[in-house]
Structure 1
Amino acid sequence: MNTPVKLSVAKFKNPSGKLSWRVSGTVNGVRVRKNFKTRPLAEGYKQEEELDSIKNETFRAAITTLTDRQLSDAQAAYARLGATHSILKAVDYYLKHYRAPVSYNLVSDVLDEFYDWKRSTGVRERSIKQLRSSLSRFADVTKDLLIHEIKLQHLQDYIDRQSWKPKTQNNFRADIHSFFEWCKAKPREWIKDNPASDLPKFKIERGIPHILDFKQSKDLMHYVAWKDAEMVPYFALALFAGIRPQYPTGELGKIAQMGAEAWDLIDFRNKVIRIPPNISKTGEYRTINIQPNLAEWLKPFAKEKASIAVTNFERRLKRIRAEKKLGHDVLRHTFISMHVAKFKSVGNTALQSGNSEAIVRRHYLKMVAENESKRFWAIKQPTQEEVGALKEEEARKEAAAKV
């Protein structure tokens, strides 16, 4: 059975920027293009045109309990299925899988609402920023699909096109799974099943963390003290207190931006640094013991309540990290390894670093010999002789570079 109606429904953006639903195609050979405010209105118009089109076809007498409207619907269904599909199989599949959507939203329509919900549960702005980066591109790619129309294959195809490493795939899987769980939950209930639930999750083998040995740690701190003394508090807190060093979003980055108030967290009398929940990555309060050498590094700056985030801080930080070839988290890794080696308590090191005992035991225990750790915790400000040696070493390097 052929039908003179060929129509489709798609979301359309008007020149004014307003979104609508457009029905386009042909009716009896005449091109049709009409816009509607909602998809149900557009689908209704499309169905009416399809029903009207079959009224002109030849009818034969048949005994049936169906109403005229039901007969028209059946004829329209046969016309759309074609000769290769059974209407009974189509009905069975529909009854098994269909769930009427309660919303006709695109992913992009509800992302801001999702981010607000995340904030209400205590998720921090840094994580919201990461979520936004992860989901906004996916929203652009799926702009022609309503939320309930997105299936597992759409997600897998999107991931396959990105050439991501397994860890990045896992991160996206977590983000998109969280989004669809939110769509599924009450009071929204926009979907019945989470299409991200069956996305594969990769097992990531974590390598041995890179750390600085005693000599490298000493060279770093002496270099900073000589070359850019205002940066000493940042590097001392990262290396000898293990505070997560990322700037500006990490724990130490947030502390650095507190200005003079940062020193209120450092209690020399009780020999502890207090990391409050609003700064701690885990959202939990913790304290870090101030070791004698750390106190010596910090006290000259504490007296003046000098700002940790000094002028041009990021540029100066980047220069020192490049000069000393410092990796992303090497200072914190060094602290944890040296701490557990010196004090021989996995639990204590885990508490002070804000890690789990399992992580400390698996990745940091026995990374450093006890004698090495003792020397590390004795690193102090450079003497005049040591500064002189640094100057001579730099002069030799400059001379060699000119040859």
Structure 2
Amino acid sequence: MKPSLHPSAKPEKIKDGSAAVTIYVDKTELRKGYRLVYWHGRQRIRKYFGDYPSAKSEARRVLANLRAGRVEAATANISDLDQLGRAKRTLAEIGVSLEKAVHDFTHAHKLLAGRNVPSFVQTQLERIGSIRDASVAQVAEEMIADKTNRGRGQNWIKDLRNFLIGTAAPRLKKPIMAVTLEDLEETLTKYSGRTRNNKISFLVQLFNFAKGRYLPENEKTVAHKLDRDAVRPSEVEIWTPEEAKKILDTAHEDELGFFAIAMFSGIRTCEICTLDWSQVKPHSDPDESHIEVKAAGSKMKLGRRIVPILPPLAAYLNKIKPPKSGLIIPNMRMEKRMSEMGIRSKIAWKKNASRHSFGSYRMADIKNVYQVAEEMGNSPAMVKKHYFQAVTKAEASKFWAIRP
């Protein structure tokens, strides 16, 4: 078939503003048809066509692209355009733009230092199995709900939530799978010593919970790679007999029961908060006089224990004349009450000092690690570590002589 020639068979220059292309007619034995010629900077571009309409159509397309500054599109050949069309049709099936696909692939190629991207992705999919993506906040909420359902203590749950949801999640706004060691270190920047170690324990529990759900089951997580601070054992703080007496003398009527039980029984604050007066059972026979700490109200649900009502506490209970039932501290925020007590008594408040005082003075009095451990709901090793030889026998005598 003879090519469709331009009627004049002369070069045709087509212009659009400063952009111009020229169509030449080729009549040699080697080439017959139309040649499209234009300049791209200092480079002369030539394209060949067998018929005039195709050359003219391409001339208009090139002019439009040159005019709009789309030089790459203007200089593309038919093969380039075919590849572009096929690529766009393939990407349309998954709803991804060509620009994003090229950006993501190039980024992945650089990260993998030239390794085969599809092969690497396949290997990773086989490694992670069917685990799903989830943000740190989502995993934290799931873990907190799980721990709550399993009966963990309210104070522990509160501390866990404050750190994971209040501090960690806002700084780790990414899937838990993507969290790095550097991310966790940045989250822990403001913590040190025992506090840092406690926060690391929370993170380790979070990442352990995510295993098999959102992280590979059998791999060491980034949380397990965090270094803990070396912490020197600290001396426990206790009340002197004089401070203990002043605190009890300063206590209001509705809080005296709490402070007396905390001081002379060693029961934890969180345990006293769940105590009912029906569990406090004074008796004329000292061996029968006791407080029952039920398993449901004990720390970590360690089990029921019987705590003796010793003479100082018996004296204060006799003064209080408590009811037969009802919560010992109904509707009280004891942390606030303890802070206010420090102000009223003009004594710097020491955290857990009442429990530590009981342990220290009780050990000095009876020198029986196992009995004190049982009464306090603690391990013998912990009792010996903190309370053995903490006070003298004379100081203990003064403490146990306190009365209203």
TM-score interval for Structure 1 and Structure 2 normalised by the shorter chain: 0.5 to 0.7
Partner of residue 160, structure 2: 131
Q: Which runs of 4+ in 1 moved over 4 A?
A: 41-44, 50-54, 76-80, 88-94, 303-307, 310-317
**Secondary structure at 1:196's aligned position in 2?**
helix
Note closer, same or farther for the CA distance 1:345–1:116 as it changes in structure 2 (3 Å cut).
same
The answer to whether the aligner puts 1:319 opposite 2:340 as a matched pair is: yes
Letter aligned with residue 309 of structure 1: I
The equivalent position to 2:180 in structure 1, one of 143, 147, 151, is 151
Partner of residue 276, structure 1: 294
Letter aligned with residue 219 of structure 1: K
Partner of residue 191, structure 2: 164
After TM superposition, give the deviation of residue 313 of structure 1 in Å.
Answer: 6.9
Letter aligned with residue 87 of structure 1: R
Note closer, same or farther for the CA distance 1:108–1:239 as it changes in structure 2 (3 Å cut).
same
Provide structure 2 residue ranges, at least 5 long, that are not aligned to the other structure: 1-71, 74-90
The answer to whether the aligner puts 1:298 opposite 2:317 as a matched pair is: yes
| Matched-pair contact (CA < 8 Å) for 1:337–1:368 | yes
Partner of residue 364, structure 1: 387
Partner of residue 390, structure 1: none
Note closer, same or farther for the CA distance 1:85–1:222 as it changes in structure 2 (3 Å cut).
closer
| TM-superposition CA deviations, 1:313-337 (whole Å, max 9, x none) | 7565433222232211111111110
After TM superposition, give the deviation of residue 83 of structure 1 in Å.
Answer: 12
Map of 1:38-77 to 2, 5 A cutoff?
Answer: 44-46=94-96, 49=98
Give TM-score, length-normalised by structure 1. 0.65
| Matched-pair contact (CA < 8 Å) for 2:135–2:176 | yes
Map of 1:85-104 to 2, 5 A cutoff?
Answer: 85-87=113-115, 95=123, 99=128, 102-104=131-133
The answer to whether the aligner puts 1:263 opposite 2:257 as a matched pair is: no
Provide structure 1 residue ranges, at least 5 long, that are not aligned to the other structure: 1-27, 30-40, 55-75, 256-261, 382-403
| TM-superposition CA deviations, 1:330-356 (whole Å, max 9, x none) | 111111101011111011111111121
After TM superposition, give the deviation of residue 91 of structure 1 in Å.
Answer: 5.1
Q: How many Å separate the matches in 2 of 1:124 and 1:114? A: 14
The equivalent position to 2:259 in structure 1, one of 235, 254, 260, is 235
Letter aligned with residue 353 of structure 1: M
Counting matched residue pairs gives 303
Determine what percentage of the aligned residue pairs are the same residue. Answer: 23
Partner of residue 244, structure 1: 268
Q: How many Å separate the matches in 2 of 1:201 and 1:318? A: 31
After TM superposition, give the deviation of residue 221 of structure 1 in Å.
Answer: 2.7
After TM superposition, give the deviation of residue 276 of structure 1 in Å.
Answer: 0.8
Partner of residue 308, structure 2: 289
Note closer, same or farther for the CA distance 1:369–1:264 as it changes in structure 2 (3 Å cut).
same
After TM superposition, give the deviation of residue 150 of structure 1 in Å.
Answer: 1.5
Partner of residue 246, structure 2: 219
After TM superposition, give the deviation of residue 82 of structure 1 in Å.
Answer: 5.9
After TM superposition, give the deviation of residue 254 of structure 1 in Å.
Answer: 2.7
| Matched-pair contact (CA < 8 Å) for 1:101–1:148 | no
Please identify the structure whose Cα radius of gyration is greater: 2
Higher mean alpha-carbon deviation, 311-320 vs 147-156, is at: 311-320
| Matched-pair contact (CA < 8 Å) for 2:108–2:117 | no
Letter aligned with residue 235 of structure 1: F
Q: How many Å separate the matches in 1 of 2:202 and 2:294? A: 27
After TM superposition, give the deviation of residue 127 of structure 1 in Å.
Answer: 2.0
Note closer, same or farther for the CA distance 1:338–1:42 as it changes in structure 2 (3 Å cut).
farther
**Secondary structure at 2:291's aligned position in 1?**
strand
After TM superposition, give the deviation of residue 181 of structure 1 in Å.
Answer: 1.1
Note closer, same or farther for the CA distance 1:44–1:206 as it changes in structure 2 (3 Å cut).
farther
**Secondary structure at 1:207's aligned position in 2?**
coil
Map of 1:111-126 to 2, 5 A cutoff?
Answer: 111-126=140-155
Partner of residue 258, structure 1: none
**Secondary structure at 1:321's aligned position in 2?**
helix
Q: How many Å separate the matches in 1 of 2:142 and 2:210? A: 11
After TM superposition, give the deviation of residue 290 of structure 1 in Å.
Answer: 0.9
| TM-superposition CA deviations, 1:287-326 (whole Å, max 9, x none) | 1111122111102323545864378775654332222322
Partner of residue 52, structure 2: none
Partner of residue 109, structure 2: 81
After TM superposition, give the deviation of residue 153 of structure 1 in Å.
Answer: 2.3
Letter aligned with residue 290 of structure 1: I
After TM superposition, give the deviation of residue 222 of structure 1 in Å.
Answer: 3.4
Note closer, same or farther for the CA distance 1:374–1:104 as it changes in structure 2 (3 Å cut).
same
Note closer, same or farther for the CA distance 1:86–1:352 as it changes in structure 2 (3 Å cut).
same
Partner of residue 334, structure 1: 357
Higher mean alpha-carbon deviation, 110-119 vs 325-334, is at: 110-119
Q: How many Å separate the matches in 1 of 2:256 and 2:111? A: 79
| TM-superposition CA deviations, 1:74-105 (whole Å, max 9, x none) | xx967963699333599579747963563122
Q: How many Å separate the matches in 1 of 2:178 and 2:122? A: 14
Give the alignment's Cα RMSD to 1 decimal: 3.5
Q: How many Å separate the matches in 1 of 2:142 and 2:112? A: 43
**Secondary structure at 1:197's aligned position in 2?**
helix
After TM superposition, give the deviation of residue 113 of structure 1 in Å.
Answer: 2.1
Q: How many Å separate the matches in 1 of 2:320 and 2:171? A: 52
